[in-house]
Amino acid sequence: MKKIIYLLGISLFAISCEQPEVGYISDNIHSLQDTITVPRGVFFTSVPPAVEGSTYPMEWAITSITDKDGNPNTELQDQHEILTWTAPFDPTTDTTLELAMKKLKLSPQPSIIMNPVSGEFVFTQASKNVVTDDFIVNVNAKNVRGERQLDKFTRIKMGPFVPVEFKTEMRSRLQLGKGGGVYDTGYNYSVLNDNDPKVPGVLNGTDPYITITKISDEPKLAIKVKMIIADSHGAALDPSKVTFNMSGDKPLQNYHDNTIGVVLDAESTTFGLPAPPFPQYARNYGGNDAYLMYYVTTADAFTVDKAAFEAANGAKDWSVYTDPATGKIRNRAYIRWGVKINDTGTWELKMKIPYTTKN
């Protein structure tokens, strides 16, 4: 009997000395995106994968990439020289081209990088050189408990290079003044987003109110953007008639505060950055709203074309908007841009204000 108790004690002691299992790694780690569609030539990130309760920290790595038929393909991992920002552009400190250039580096980079901590995919501007359209990515996930080889983790489809993205709603608006700084919307013309049917006309120069066109391939690595605000007939304003849209004593976000080396001529304002995308910086907003830029025109910039307005929209009572001292319609333009330009060279952003004639 004593021998049995002794042996049982030894067994329990041995069990108590075994190390407990540490951590957990799921058999169901997976990408939340079965297919990631990537615009060529644009910095782009995927969403983090699902780890299904696996213990952090995780360590992620791409193990191989194939084409859609399973043939090995290294195009996404081949390196190409691209100009990259090593730190965020900040116009409050990067006040000259020389200072901003210190944050730029021409270096060889692959088109795809996997964040080893978060598991997100990062796609760089080098993807502009990728020829194949369809890829399968295999990855490895590892933590303190073990590792999982995740073949066919996700599919990557390469889309065309998108020089201009319509990130949020743009507006060309005629405002009618009641006096005392109070304005009503007289007429609003907008382009909502990338899916707006007006977009092709904006890009090919045929839209009646807003056009965004590339006018030169120079500069090769940098970007210049020329803003023209015009009446409804296309006559451009002197830039002195285009002012900041104020919120209290501070201007709303605008291109002047977000670029380097603003240049004025009789009909336009040209903004510069040493590398795209444009704009690079958002003082007040995040997400898609980071691309909102606001201006208004002075009260003496335009005369309202009442005949054209009524021909298109019907008769209107103008009395509440008529200045008794001058007999003219009080008005101004409300200007709101919301685009991102990913390409180099010189671009023209032109906005015509509906039913106006330049003074």
Asked if the structure places residue 127 within a domain, the reply is: yes
Q: How confident is the model at residue 21 (pLDDT cuts 50, 70, 90)?
A: confident
- The residue range of the domain holding 47 is 22-161
pLDDT, one tens digit per residue, over 298-320 is 999 999 999 999 999 999 999 99
> Same domain, yes or no, for 217 and 106?
no
pTM, rounded to two decimals:
0.82
* Mean local confidence (pLDDT), 45-67: 97
Residue 12 lies in a domain: no
pLDDT score for 14: 47
Cβ atoms of 346 and 219 within 8 Å: the answer is yes
What are the Cα distances from residue 353, in Å, to 261, 270, 299, 305, 359?
Answer: 27, 19, 13, 11, 13
Question: Which residues contact residue 37 at a Cβ distance below 8 angstroms, ignoring those fewer than 6 apart?
Answer: 157, 159
**Is the Cβ–Cβ distance between 181 and 321 less than 8 Å?**
no
On whether both 245 and 170 belong to a single domain, the answer is yes
Are 350 and 182 in contact by the 8 Å Cβ rule? The answer is no
- Give the contacts of 97 (CB within 8 A, at least 6 positions apart): 260, 261, 272, 274
Which residues face 294 on adjacent strands?
Answer: 336
| Residues 209 and 356: beta-carbon distance below 8 Å | no
Q: Are residues 220 and 317 in the same domain?
A: yes
Number of structural domains found in the chain: 2
Same domain membership, residue 308 and residue 212 = yes
In angstroms, the CA 202 to CA 212 distance is 6
Q: What is the largest CA-CA distance in the chain?
A: 118
Which residues neighbour 261 within 8 Å (Cβ) at sequence distance 6 or greater? Answer: 97, 272
Query: What single letter denotes the amino acid at residue 268?
Result: S
Q: What is the pLDDT of residue 20?
A: 64
340 and 238, same structural domain? yes
82 and 173 part of one domain? no
On whether both 156 and 52 belong to a single domain, the answer is yes
Taking 70 as the threshold, does the pLDDT of residue 205 lie above it?
yes
pLDDT at 265: 95
